[in-house]
């Protein structure tokens, strides 16, 4: 069985609290605000472990910053407003199947995909 240390557990519960996805820097700020004396390095290292153990997923914001979220829930993608940041979760089963097919066609293995939509929401 997997071992899981305190920092990793803290990060998991913070990610649960956040509900969606958050960057390492944001998670760090949230924990510090809660009075936790955790260091930034530890946050990065714990996220890396969680990533290796496939407990969290990573994707990139438009500015290149890494965003982490818990896996396990139905895999979905996001429609993000590039002005105010509003995020809508979207379903993408058809995309999933398409990605699989393309990978197979080109003899690629272990294929993951990045599908994110960015635009302006109705308010912006």
Partner DNA sequence: TTTAATGCAAATACTTTGCAGGAAA
Partner DNA sequence: TTTCCTGCAAAGTATTTGCATTAAA
| Contact residues: DNA, CB under 7 A | 3, 5-7, 23-25, 37-42, 44-46, 48, 64-66
- Which residue lies nearer to DNA by CB, 64 or 112? 64
Cβ 57 to DNA shortest distance, Å? 14
Q: Which string of x and - marks every residue 30-59 that binds a second copy (by CB under 8 A)?
A: ------------------------------
Phi, psi dihedrals of residue 79, rounded to the nearest 5°: -115, 115
Rounded distance between C-alpha atoms, residue 98 and residue 50, angstroms: 28
H or E stretch including 52?
Answer: helix 40-52
Q: What is the DSSP letter of 74?
A: P
- Which residue lies nearer to a second copy by CB, 26 or 32? 26
Cβ 66 to a second copy shortest distance, Å? 6
- With contact defined as beta carbons under 8 Å apart, do 59 and 116 qualify? yes
Burial class (CB within 10 angstroms; exposed 0-12, middle 13-18, buried 19+) of 43: buried
Residues making contact with a second copy (CB under 8 A): 60, 62, 64-66, 79, 81, 88, 90, 92, 94-95, 98-99, 102-103, 106-122
């Amino acid at each position: 069985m997997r071992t899981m240390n305190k920092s990793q557990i803290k990060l998991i519960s913070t990610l649960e609290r956040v509900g969606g996805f958050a960057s390492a820097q944001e998670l760090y700020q949230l924990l510090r605000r809660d009075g936790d004396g955790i260091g930034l390095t530890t946050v990065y290292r714990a996220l890396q472990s969680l990533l290796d153990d496939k407990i969290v997923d990573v994707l990139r914001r438009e500015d290149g910053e890494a965003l982490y979220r818990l896996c396990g829930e139905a895999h979905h993608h996001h429609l993000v407003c590039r002005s105010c940041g509003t995020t809508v979760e979207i379903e993408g089963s058809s995309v999933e199947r398409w990605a699989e097919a393309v990978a197979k066609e080109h003899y690629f293995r272990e294929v993951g995909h990045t599908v994110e939509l960015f635009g302006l929401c109705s308010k912006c």
